[in-house]
Amino acid sequence: MSGWNPLAPLPAVERWTPLAKVSAAAGVALLVLLALGPLILNANLLDKLTTLFIYVILALMWNALAGYGGLVSIGQQAFFGLGAYGAIRLADAGVNVYLSLVASALLVGLVAQPVSAFMLRLKAGEFAIGMWVLAELAHLLVNLDKLVQGETGTSLIALTAYQADSRRATIYWLALAAMAVLSGIVFALLRSRTGAAIQAIRDDEEAAAAVGVRVLGTKRIIFILAATGTAMAGALWLATAISFQPKTYFGVQWTAYMIFMVLVGGLGTFEGPLLGAVIFFTIEAWFGGSGVWYLVGLGGTALAFSLLLPRGIWGAVERRLSLRLLPVGYHLKVPLGIPESNMTEGASGQAPSAVAEIPPVER
């Protein structure tokens, strides 16, 4: 590094800001507090929180897929439904019912691997619609299963072997754990080098390939993760509802909810979908009984957000206040003397003589 003034501070990359450390700690503290829920809260509240956790998982997964990966899918209900169906099948085969919930999600993740080979060849709108077709196909195939009896459906009978209270607490903890683990995985993935590559593919696939990003393999990671997480949400939903009617699980409304939460909260921000899930949960609690008008309201709100606040609530907050609670990006701390916002002037001031000299590396 002979070109640099040895006394001048070098630019440094900052990833964990003090604020980020505080908010990560607060997040962990909140999870610990929530883990005490079954000891403190009443049954009704526990059920509601379990629902919220499932919504958070759905929003988190759709945002990872579409907001970071650029893979806009309107067929994620395929994995939601398959997650529930897999749990029914596994429990019927004698697997412990709680274990079958988790195992089903992992199995769906395995199935998503060959599925990705076909689906990821499709681009943009083709992918979105292709996923919907896939969901319909999965729905029809599940209907053929004698155990499911077509649209009559079946239920996760094995759960009824457990007492209502212990069942409620276990499912609550399971949902909380799934939410925590999946959030952690998404956060770690986005902060990893793969996470940066995923976002580059979202912005320009060809340019990403031109700088050495292995496009297909990288997309596959996010696709399979989203499939697994969404399947986990489906299995958990089954555990709270017990009854399984294919139409309810393979309905496109699930993806509509995901899109709503992500668009309102903030597409392509880590914090946004968490916020979006809370908002959706609240709206549903207040207006969920209003039938068709509730759905009209949801659609109208999502539309308004995409037109007026395309980056959602959190995107706007982030931009206004440059507030990043859980940053997944990189901030270069540039020493004084180099203006933060130079456009063109002084650009060559440090090039090329004052440049750190790094010889090409032998590959």
| x/- letters, 342..361, toward another protein (CB under 8 A) | xxx-xxxxxxx-xxxxxxxx
| x/- letters, 263..282, toward another protein (CB under 8 A) | -----x--------------
Place of tokens 């907001």: 67
Count of all residues that appear for the chain in the document: 363
Amino acid letter, residue 13 = V
Nearer CB in complex with another protein: 95/196: 196
Which residues lie below 8 Å from residue 263, measured CB to CB, with a gap of 6+?
A: 276, 302, 305, 306, 312
On whether the CB atoms of residues 101 and 43 are closer than 8 A, the answer is no
Interaction between residue 54 and another protein (CB under 8 A): no
Interaction between residue 231 and another protein (CB under 8 A): no
Interaction between residue 5 and another protein (CB under 8 A): no
Among 36, 93, 125, 193, binds another protein (CB under 8 A): 193
Longest dimension (CA), the chain: 76
**Alpha-carbon distance 156 to 158, whole Å?**
6
DSSP letters spanning 318-363: HHHH---SS--S-EEEPPTTS-TT-SSTTGGGGSSTTSPP-PPPP-
| x/- letters, 195..224, toward another protein (CB under 8 A) | -xx-xx-xxx-xxxxxxxxxx---------
**Residue 266, SS3?**
coil
Q: What does the CA dihedral 270, 273, 278, 279 come to, rounded to 10 degrees?
A: 130
Nearer CB in complex with another protein: 139/324: 324
Interaction between residue 189 and another protein (CB under 8 A): no
Nearer CB in complex with another protein: 103/309: 309
| x/- letters, 297..336, toward another protein (CB under 8 A) | --------------------------------xxxx-x--
- Structural tokens at position 227: 């499939």
Nearer CB in complex with another protein: 51/199: 199
Nearer CB in complex with another protein: 289/352: 352
Nearer CB in complex with another protein: 179/200: 200
The minimum distance between CB 176 and another protein, in angstroms, equals 31
Whole-Å CA distances, 1 to 4, 336, 353: 6, 19, 12
Interaction between residue 83 and another protein (CB under 8 A): no
Which residues of the chain form contacts with another protein (CB under 8 A)?
Answer: 10-11, 13, 193, 196-197, 199-200, 202-204, 206-215, 268, 329-332, 334, 338-344, 346-352, 354-363
